[in-house]
Amino acid sequence: MAVKPSHLSDQLGRTARLVTRSGTAVNLREELGREGEGAIFRTEKPGYVAKVYQRDHADTSRRRKLEAMLAHPLDRAHPTSRGICWPLAILFDSQDRFRGYVMQEAKGRPMGRRLFVKTELQASFPTWDRRQLVNACITTLERIQFLHRANVLLGDINPENILVENESSVWLVDTDSYQIGQFPCPVGTAHFTPPELQDAHFGHVLRTPQHEAFAVATLVFMVLHLGKPPYAQRGGGSPIENIRTMEFPYPLGGRSRRNAPEGAWRFIWSNLTYALKEAFFETFDKSCRGEPRRTASDWLSLLHQYAHALDRGHVSRELFPASFKPVTRHAQDKFGAASDESGRSLMCAACGAPFVLSQREEDFFRSKGLSDPKRCKSCRSSNAPQPKHVIPPITQRQAQGRSGGGLHVPAPVPLRSISPSKAVKCAKKRAVGRPVRARTITSPTGQGDVVERFLQFLSRLFS
């Protein structure tokens, strides 16, 4: 960053020399950044920076708050504390006037700039898939949980004060705005502010854990949806208006409004675990207004569970999945016939065209003890012959859906591959009395062959 002449340095005098309460000198070096209330400078000590306030912002109440924070230092033994830029010492000038404080230097770039624009994310972390994204989210939540356990509320959780270095190194900055004891957080960001606080004057309000929980949920949603706010939707009001009315556009089971924004967002949502979706829905939807919100610890459990599902291949690992999550039989049994989506897209083994298997049709086949039909409706009725061999995998194109409601025909995508162990489990369930027809499985990684042969082997065993 270019060294700019700073009028703050001029204010301080040419040597830009400050001292701590105990008299230790802190010499300022280059300016790293500037906001309305002050600027951040490197110091002569590597790894430590100073935040120096503008004259009219360096007031008594701010100083008292910092003193309260110094009186409650973070547990330095805890590794999580390393990612939080807590004040370490208060700074005074040569006339003993309060000027600012010293803290550790954060690394990384703001989450909003680094993770929330596709091209930026791909440039920063070209090898990332969802697993690393979830890790980064977990790392962030661990820091938030750490603060909550110390009775500190962040207040203004937003993607500009969370710096991401990599999936396991995340820094929380602007800690001087946190809510500690009776000192409120004087700022907020509309997107992360719960409906009940939208009209509040932040400096005059002490937030509660319930208020904070809304911000945490919004953050988790945005990370998992690569920057898309939960209330952004097709039509309707602006996201802020939608927060007030709690018009949440994503579906859960049978409960849904189908105006999620265009693009990969609906697919991302679909590919989350049910537990995550339920947690989001119960935070954001108007039907759950007033209900207690998940805590940071709750979100951590949910994220670990999601990570597990990613590892097992139950859900798409792609940052931008190209299709809805196929409805598994397990989900059917557990949640009844209703599913998020109105249909599943399959490939016709006879004519090669994509077709949609509606929920109703799927129920029908299940009730007859049959697995998915391999042919589209017209080929079934005309009894077109099924080829003996599997259709080769289709290259995935971004599915472009139309507005929700009714049947929906995305571009053809391969079916999700089932891991061999799962195939065995499913096969065993179906063992007695009924013929097992191996599903036509194709896999983008080209392992379809192996899985297909294994399943054919199984079906021969049990038929």
Partner 1 sequence: MNEFGFRTQDLVENPSTRLAVCLCLDVSPSMEGDPIEELNKGTALFFEALQKNELTKHSVEIAVVTFAGTAVARQNFGPVLQATAPSLNIEGGGTSLGEGVELSLDLLEERKKAYKLAGIEYFQPWLIIMTDGEPTDNSHLRVAPRAADLVQHKKLSVFPIGVGDDSDLETLQMFSPKRPPLRLKGLRFEEFFEFLGKSAERVSASNPGDTVPLDTEGISKWAEMET
- Residue 241 CB, nearest approach to partner 1 (Å): 11
Q: Which of 83, 87, 194, 227 binds partner 1 (CB under 8 A)?
A: 227
Q: Which of 8, 215, 223, 260 binds partner 1 (CB under 8 A)?
A: 260
Task: Give, as ranges, the residues between 370 and 429 that touch partner 1 (CB under 8 A).
Answer: 400
- Residue 189 CB, nearest approach to partner 1 (Å): 6
Query: With binding defined as CB under 8 A, does residue 119 bind partner 1?
Result: yes
Judge contact between 414 and 442, C-beta under 8 A.
yes
Whole-angstrom distance, CA of residue 317 vs CA of residue 328: 17
Among the listed ranges 96-104, 255-263, 347-355, 379-387, the one in contact with partner 1 (CB under 8 A) is: 255-263
- Residue 251 CB, nearest approach to partner 1 (Å): 15
Query: With binding defined as CB under 8 A, does residue 232 bind partner 1?
Result: yes
Q: Classify residue 205 as left (phi > 0), alpha (psi -120 to 50) or beta.
A: beta
Q: Which of 108, 195, 209, 239 binds partner 1 (CB under 8 A)?
A: 239
Query: With binding defined as CB under 8 A, does residue 268 bind partner 1?
Result: no
**Long-range interactions of 17-22: CB distance < 8 A, separation 24+:** 17/94, 18/50, 18/52, 18/91, 18/92, 18/93, 18/99, 18/100, 19/91, 19/92, 19/93, 19/94, 20/89, 20/90, 20/91, 20/92, 20/102, 21/89, 21/90, 21/92, 22/89
Q: Which of 20, 54, 169, 189 binds partner 1 (CB under 8 A)?
A: 189
- Residue 260 CB, nearest approach to partner 1 (Å): 8
Query: With binding defined as CB under 8 A, does residue 120 bind partner 1?
Result: yes
DSSP state of 125: -
Q: In what order do the strands lie in the sheet with 169-172?
A: 109-110, 162-166, 169-172
Tokens standing for residue 101 = 């404080």
DSSP state of 235: S
Q: Which of 17, 29, 113, 430 binds partner 1 (CB under 8 A)?
A: 113
Q: Which of 194, 249, 393, 448 binds partner 1 (CB under 8 A)?
A: 249
Q: Which of 240, 331, 356, 384 binds partner 1 (CB under 8 A)?
A: 240
Whole-angstrom distance, CA of residue 315 vs CA of residue 323: 11
User: The tokens 């590794």 sit on which residue?
Assistant: 79
Query: With binding defined as CB under 8 A, does residue 258 bind partner 1?
Result: no
Closest CA to 51 of 88, 102, 107: 102
Among the listed ranges 20-28, 262-270, 286-294, 388-396, the one in contact with partner 1 (CB under 8 A) is: 262-270
Our CB check for partner 1 shows the closer of 23 and 235 to be 235
Whole-angstrom distance, CA of residue 112 vs CA of residue 159: 5
Q: How many residues lie near partner 1 (CB under 8 A)? A: 29
Q: What's the helix, strand, coil split of the chain in %, to 5?
A: 40, 15, 50
Query: With binding defined as CB under 8 A, does residue 190 bind partner 1?
Result: yes
Binding site for partner 1 (CB under 8 A): 113, 116-120, 189-191, 226-229, 232-235, 238-240, 249, 260-265, 320, 400
